[in-house]
Each structure stands twice: as C-alpha cells, then as structure tokens.
Amino acid sequence: MHTALTELTGVRHPLVQSGMGWVAGPRLVSATADAGALGILASATMTPGELRRAVREVASRTDQPFGVNLRADAGDARERVRIIIEEGVRVASFALAPSRALIAELKDAGVVVIPSVGARRHAEKVAAWGADAVIVQGGEGGGHTGEVATTVLLPQVVDAVDIPVIAAGGFFDGRGLVAALAYGAAGIAMGTRFLLTSDSTVPDAVKARYLAATVKDVTVTRAVDGLPHRMLRTELVTLLEGAGRARALAHALRRASGFRKISGLSWARLVREGLAAKHGKDLTWSQTLLAANTPMLLRASMVEGRTDLGVMASGQVAGVIEDLPSCAELITRVMAEASSTLSALPRPASGGAGGVWSGAG
C-alpha cells in the first residue's frame, strides 16, 4: 500500500509507532522498522549521549528508516537536532511545534520533519513553516490530549493543509487504517497498540494491567500535572484526585525528592523545569512539581513495573486490545485487515442513478 507517507519516509506500510517515553526504545523501534512501519525513538527521557547511543543501536539492528521524537521546548533541542543530522536519522518528529529555525535546519540536512499537533491552527502554523507532514492526535489518544475526537479533528486538518496528514488517537487495526485513508490521511500512528506487543520492553505485569482494562478504565485527569492527561485509572490517580492541596503537595515533594536522586537535578532546577512545563497554565505547586517529574512517574510503571506508584499513559484503545503480538505479526495483521476491509466495501453500481451503491464486490 503506497501513500504519501510511505513515499515521504521510505517505509513499506503507512503505519507509525509513536515515540512514547520509556517505551519506544531501540528494541521496539528496530522491530517496527524491520516489519516495514516507521518506528519513532523517544528521546525526551534520554540525555544527548544516551540519544546518540540509542540511535546507533537502532541502526545496528536494522537498515530500515526510523525516526526520533524530540521536545521542541527542551533547552538542548539544537544539540539533539545535530545528533539526528550527524547520525543520519531519516525522520524527526516533535511533541510540540518546533520553531521555524529548527525545521529549516533539519530540512536543509535532508531530514523529514513531522510535528505532532492537536488542533487545526497548529497544523497550519507548522505547515507554513515548512514541515513535511503532521501527526494529528484526537482526544482518544494517550498522554496529554485534547478534547476533539479524531473523527472531527482529522478531516479539519486534512482540509486545512496541503502536506500529508497522519491520523492518531483511537487506532489499533486495519479497519481504522482504511477509515483514516477515507478521511484523507496518508496513514495512522499507534502508541498503545505498539506498547502492547511482545517487542515492547514494558514489564509483563504492566502489560497485564493494560490488557485487563476496559474502555471505562481509561480516564482523562488533570490531577497529575494540571493538564488533560489520558491514562489508566490507577491507585496514584485516585489518590491525587481525592487529595487536598496540602496532601497533594506532600505527595509531590516525596516524588520530586526521588526524582532528584535519579536525575541529579537540584531543587532549583526541578522547580524551573516545573515552571517551564506550566506553559502559562494556572497550576498548584504540587502540580508544578509533578509536571517536572512526570517522566519519572511514567518510568515507575514503564520501567520498574510499579503500577501502584506510576502513571500509565494510555489511549482508549487499551480497552479493546486483548493480545501481545510481535511488531511483525501486528503490522502484517493490520495490513491484511486493511486489504480485506477495502475488498469488502460496496462498489458504485454501474448505470442507474448516481450515488447508488451495490453490494460488496
């Protein structure tokens, strides 16, 4: 299946594995790439040195194209861009809109730039700045998310820009790929579906928690960092939602203290990180501290397996996923489902009134 996405990135299938912090490491990314989709390495939780080593590890595992996800607001974003260029990475994706200068620097070096957006105006802005494509995530997606459903947001963005649009939020199978293509997308991006594969390094106990979840177990809360955050409802989420300000602050201070020991950040640096994460939002001090160490809350679950203490970002699709295929099995299945779905669609009747549809043919 050839689309504008496969032509732009050089992958065989119009599928993207999202750059999930602590999840999208070299093993998952290389398995995705080998299977013909676009694997995205998550770099926000890595130091620049760790990023370079991770990129080289992916390159040693596969000769297929892959990408790296960056935070455009990171203080060392330009250093990370240089690493991507120097290491010959094919695609740079961004969790926040990159500056015009960063886009230009990457494109001048032949790197494909694909920012993620959650609103039409953001897509229009990065398209005007030279982005090669955009990933548009609807409210069904995991992590920080918006309120507009994919089925409403996607056609808005497709109609607003003239670059390839990749749909994200609510996708897990071949039927979803066909639906996205029908809306005008060039492919789909999936996060939770790739998290729940045998190639994912997420601990088995955490995967079991995801598999056991129903659609109603996936919630959107502001209790963690003051921003809408879609995740599984866990003991931590319930605790924070029910805590008063004093109790929430005490809990955040304990979390921040643990984060400092691992990261080596000073209290002053931690507070600055939290204030930067506010993005002008009216957050309490507990939310500010939690915003600064949200990566460690994710690490507690995704690396250490502490489902009782960590954050488990999740798309709503967790409630309908029931197995742990390999990336190769998943991608083969999705593409086969897409082919059979397309074949089963009714065809326009020959002759007669326009717009009349016949049965499957």
3-class SS string, the chain: CCCHHHHHHCCCCCEEECCCCCCCCHHHHHHHHHCCCEEEEECCCCCHHHHHHHHHHHHHHCCCCEEEEECCCCCCHHHHHHHHHHCCCCEEEECCCCCHHHHHHHHHCCCEEEEEECCHHHHHHHHHCCCCCEEEECCCCCEECCCCCHHHHHHHHHHHCCCCEEEECCCCCHHHHHHHHHHCCCEEEECHHHHCCCCCCCCHHHHHHHHHCCHHHEEEECCCCCCCEEEECCHHHHHHHHCCHHHHHHHHHHHHHHHHHHHCCCHHHHHHHHHHHHCCCCCCHHHHHHHHCHHHHHHHHHCCCCCCCCCCECCHHHHHCCCCCCHHHHHHHHHHHHHHHHHHCEEECCCCCCCCEEEEC
Domain that holds residue 251: 214-313
Mean pLDDT of 269-293: 59
Q: Is residue 260 part of a domain?
A: yes
Q: 361: pLDDT confidence band, cut at 50, 70 and 90?
A: very low
Percent of the chain with pLDDT over 70: 83
Whether 275 has a pLDDT exceeding 60, the answer reads no
Whether 330 has a pLDDT exceeding 70, the answer reads yes
Q: Are residues 34 and 123 in the same domain?
A: yes
Q: 222: pLDDT confidence band, cut at 50, 70 and 90?
A: confident
Q: Are residues 287 and 336 in the same domain?
A: no
Q: Is residue 140 part of a domain?
A: yes
Q: Are residues 162 and 289 in the same domain?
A: no
Whether 123 has a pLDDT exceeding 90, the answer reads yes
Percent of the chain with pLDDT over 90: 71
Mean pLDDT of 295-302: 84
Q: In the chain, how many domains are there?
A: 2
Q: Are residues 56 and 157 in the same domain?
A: yes
Q: Is residue 349 part of a domain?
A: no
Whether 149 has a pLDDT exceeding 60, the answer reads yes
Q: Are residues 14 and 106 in the same domain?
A: yes
Q: Is residue 161 part of a domain?
A: yes
Q: Is residue 356 part of a domain?
A: no
CATH number for 159: 3.20.20.70
Residues 329 and 321: their CA atoms lie apart, in Å, by 14
Whether 205 has a pLDDT exceeding 80, the answer reads yes
Q: Is residue 359 part of a domain?
A: no
User: What's the pLDDT at 239?
Assistant: 79
Mean pLDDT of 278-303: 69
Q: Are residues 182 and 230 in the same domain?
A: no
Query: Angle of helix 267-278 relative to helix 245-263, nearest 10 degrees?
Result: 120
Q: Are residues 197 and 273 in the same domain?
A: no
Q: Is residue 181 part of a domain?
A: yes
pLDDT digits (tens, 9 = 90+) for 152-168: 999 999 999 999 999 99
Q: Are residues 91 and 192 in the same domain?
A: yes
**Confidence (pTM):** 0.88
Q: Are residues 162 and 247 in the same domain?
A: no
Mean pLDDT of 229-242: 86
pLDDT digits (tens, 9 = 90+) for 26-46: 999 999 999 999 999 999 989
Question: For all residues of the chain together, what is the average pLDDT?
Answer: 88
Q: Is residue 145 part of a domain?
A: yes
Q: Are residues 52 and 175 in the same domain?
A: yes
